[in-house]
Amino acid sequence: MRESFLSRRTVRRLRQLLICTAGSIKIKLVLCCCIAFTVIALLSRASGFTGWTNRSVALERLSIPRKGYAIVMNTWKRYDLLKQSISHYSSCPGLESIHIVWSEPSPPSSSLKKFLNHIVQSNSGHERQVELKFDINKEDSLNNRFKEIKDLMTDAVFSIDDDVIFSCSSVEFAFNVWRSAPDTMVGFLPRIHWVDQSKGNNDYYIYGGWWSVWWTGAYSMVLSKAAFFHKKYFSLYTNDMSTSVREYVTKNRNCEDIAMSFLVANASGAPPIWVKGNIYEIGSTGISSMGGHSERRTQCVNRFVAEFGRMPLIPTTVKVVDTRNVWFW
């Protein structure tokens, strides 16, 4: 009797123990999964910076086109920024030439020219020689950045400000996206326009900055501060677009990028393309990231709608990402 009672108790104990172990196995499994997931997530993040080079190098070898792109850089009296960004971009493999848009009253000093030429030469490597040119302008106008460039070797133009740096792989990736859609603008900094419903009719618009895009995921422009487009738009902007748009830009010292977005959308009938890229802002933040600025931008949008006779911008929610940096889909 006693023995059997004991054994029954032992069995119950054993069973409890088993249940306990089974429970802890479950917990351990869950923990293991958590840890594995974290490790994979960390690895896929780290892959942007360190390892997995074979994966990215392989594609780069495949995809370097014989005809690359030209950089058109807008600059204004910030020589250290200029030096920094030229020395960065001149090391990007698909780059063919750099054109510095110079609108200052006095021409670039010979020491600056010498310094930049030296940087570009030493970064170019053996197989290719990147060309560096200054496009000197007499008049100081934001339209200068879209002037036609004589003997531009490439169709693709990467328009960039001197105070933003994108990694070479981001730039080359955006260039590849542009090659899939050469009539539209491909860039890193999206913006949006809204119909202002409070005005009663549907033909008053509001300019939406980065937070509007962040909140809704929609955009209808990419800023020419960092964007690819076809060189044909230089001549359209300078020769075919109405003079009053260019005059408005010069007078207000603003909105040349909105004008270019209107022009490209009107000509292509297509929305721009937003590409994910890593940005390093090296200058102090400009007016574009501050408040109060969007009021003037809204005025520009409505003014240009009147000039174009319609709203050419087309909203979209497409965002292009590099598959090499994404591990789950």
Ligand X SMILES: *[C@@H]1O[C@H](CO)[C@@H](O)[C@H](O)[C@H]1NC(C)=O
323 sits near ligand X (criterion: CB under 6 A): no
For tokens 């974290």, the residue is 38
Q: How far is the CB of 240 from ligand X (least distance, A)?
A: 6
- Check binding of 266 to ligand X (CB under 6 A): yes
Q: Does 156 bind ligand X (CB under 6 A)?
A: no
Q: For ligand X, which residue has the nearest CB?
A: 266
Whether 322 is catalytic: no
- Find the binder of ligand X among 241, 255, 264, 301 (CB under 6 A): 241
DSSP letter for each residue of 176-201: HHHHHSTTS-EES-EEEEEE-GGGSS
Binds ligand X (CB under 6 A): choice among 308, 311, 313, 322:
308
Whether 227 and 182 have beta carbons less than 8 Å apart is answered as no
Quote the tokens at residue 142: 């934001």
Backbone angles phi, psi at 295, to 5 degrees: -55, -50
Q: Which stretch binds ligand X (CB under 6 A): 29-37, 45-53, 171-179, 238-246?
A: 238-246
How far, in Å, are 1, 10, 11, 12, 23 from residue 5 at the CA level? 6, 9, 10, 11, 27
- Rg (C-alpha) for the chain, rounded Å, is 27
- Whether 93 contacts 169, CB under 8 Å: no
Nearer to ligand X, 10 or 242 (CB): 242
Whether the Cβ atoms of residue 264 and residue 311 lie closer than 8 Å to each other: no
Closest to ligand X by CB, 132 or 260: 260
Stretch that binds ligand X, among 73-81, 136-144, 224-232, 239-247 (CB under 6 A): 239-247
Q: Using CB under 6 A, count the residues that bind ligand X.
A: 7
Q: Is residue 301 part of the contact set for ligand X (CB under 6 A)?
A: no
SS3 100: strand
Judged by CB under 6 A, does residue 233 bind ligand X?
A: no
In the block, tokens 């393309």 appear at 273
Q: Is 265 in the site for ligand X (CB under 6 A)?
A: no
**Paired tokens of 189:** 């900094």
Shortest Å distance, C-beta 312 to ligand X? 7
Between 63 and 266, CB nearer to ligand X? 266
The active-site residue out of 161, 162, 163, 257 is 257
Looking at the Cβ atoms of 145 and 246, the one nearer to ligand X is 246
The C-alpha atoms of residue 165 and residue 95 are separated, in whole angstroms, by 15
Site residues, ligand X (CB under 6 A): 240-242, 263, 266-267, 308
Q: Which residues are catalytic?
A: 257
